[in-house]
Amino acid sequence: MQNDLTKNRSNGQQPAETFPTAVSPLQAETGPAKEIISRVRTTGLHVGFGPREIIHDISVEFPQNQVTALLGPTGSGKTTLLRTLNRLNEMSSGFWMSGRVDLDGRDIYQDFSDVREVRRAVGMLFQRPNPFPQSIEENVAIGLRAHHIVPAPQIHQEVERQLINVGLWDAVGDKLDESPFGLSGGQQQLLCLARTLAVRPEVILLDEPTSSLDPISTQRVEDLVTRLKEKVTIIMVTHNVQQAARISDYIVFLNEGSLVEANWSREMFINTQNHIVEDFLTGRMG
């Protein structure tokens, strides 16, 4: 499917030297615009709370099995858009929306009888790790049971598999009965990721998942995200332009609740024609 947002902007007007050196690997790889096969799509989306409209008429596709970075200045509506993609805003008072959000062609607000099925298919990880106040094992097991992912006798084994998958088993394998609050922030975030992955999501939403983590934990999460895209579609809010350059394939850029630009990352870093996007990517605007 060809997306009209996927323009080939390789007209060479933007000098590459104006971009941070850390993004230079992207600059070496220009080519024709890639086609988008989308898993998640919004159409004419407006979102607000009470009298205030926060998201204005956003139509955008998020490519399947890719990492999309959702960028934009603070207050531009990134979290609000992200939470709309798995119906989490419904919990906020005054929430209203119009337009569509589709997951594999099904409207998540109309075509799913159970909101829990939407949130299973579209998992979310928040800025601060939020483990449940149960044991480490139970944090992962609870979703396995609720969604009947594996038969009861296999739950323990599946918990182990998920903890190995996120690289946490060596640290927690001998204290599964303990509270997760004794773990480091990075370990708690990996546990939350294991909990999210355990229920076999098709899409994962990450809202600044490394902003409270140290550099080593950040790298582990980034490595995991890069590996996970083989199986899931990832949409990640980040304020860190270097992180977007390192791990994103596609960028959706918001400003004041509107879509400014959506494009393959390397195209956007090299060829954006938009001064707001350029100022943001070069660090002139945060």
Ligand X SMILES: Nc1ncnc2c1ncn2[C@@H]1O[C@H](COP(=O)(O)OP(=O)(O)OP(=O)(O)O)[C@@H](O)[C@H]1O
Which spans of this chain sit near ligand X (rule: CB under 6 A)? 49, 54, 72, 74-80, 92
Binder of residue 21, out of Mg ion, ligand X, none (CB less than 5 to 8 A by kind): none
Q: Mention every residue, 6+ apart, whose C-beta is less than 8 A from residue 266.
A: 26, 27, 29, 30
**DSSP 3-state helix, strand, coil percentages of the chain (rounded to 5)?**
40, 25, 40
Which residue, 56 or 175, is less far from ligand X as judged by CB? 56
Which residue, 217 or 255, is less far from ligand X as judged by CB? 255
Largest CA distance in the chain: 61
Cα–Cα distance measured from residue 85 to residue 223, given in angstroms and rounded to the nearest whole number: 24
Q: Quote the DSSP letter at residue 22.
A: G
Minimum distance from residue 158 beta carbon to Mg ion (Å): 32
Which residue, 79 or 187, is less far from Mg ion as judged by CB? 79
Q: Among 42, 76, 79, 248, which residue interacts with Mg ion (rule: CB under 5 A)? A: 79
Binder of residue 72, out of Mg ion, ligand X, none (CB less than 5 to 8 A by kind): ligand X
Cα–Cα distance measured from residue 15 to residue 120, given in angstroms and rounded to the nearest whole number: 44
Q: Mention every residue, 6+ apart, whose C-beta is less than 8 A from residue 11.
A: 271
Which residue, 79 or 162, is less far from ligand X as judged by CB? 79
Binder of residue 92, out of Mg ion, ligand X, none (CB less than 5 to 8 A by kind): ligand X
Minimum distance from residue 33 beta carbon to Mg ion (Å): 29
Which residue, 95 or 269, is less far from ligand X as judged by CB? 95
Binder of residue 119, out of Mg ion, ligand X, none (CB less than 5 to 8 A by kind): none
Please, are residues 89 and 97 in contact by the beta-carbon 8 Å criterion? yes
Measured in Å, how far apart are the chain's first and last C-alpha atoms?
33
Q: Name the one range near Mg ion by CB under 5 A: 73-81, 105-113, 116-124, 184-192.
A: 73-81
Binder of residue 273, out of Mg ion, ligand X, none (CB less than 5 to 8 A by kind): none
Binder of residue 195, out of Mg ion, ligand X, none (CB less than 5 to 8 A by kind): none
Which residue, 72 or 143, is less far from ligand X as judged by CB? 72
Cα–Cα distance measured from residue 216 to residue 220, given in angstroms and rounded to the nearest whole number: 6
Phi, psi of 80 (to 5 degrees): -60, -45
Minimum distance from residue 12 beta carbon to ligand X (Å): 32
Q: Of all residues in this chain, which one has the CB nearest to Mg ion in the complex?
A: 79
Which residue, 127 or 135, is less far from ligand X as judged by CB? 127
Cα–Cα distances in Å, from 223 out to 91, 166, 217, 219, 228? 32, 10, 10, 6, 9
Three-state SS at 51: coil
Q: Name the one range near Mg ion by CB under 5 A: 25-33, 53-61, 78-86, 130-138.
A: 78-86
Q: Which of 115, 119, 121 is nearest to 39 (CA)?
A: 121
Site residues, Mg ion (CB under 5 A): 79
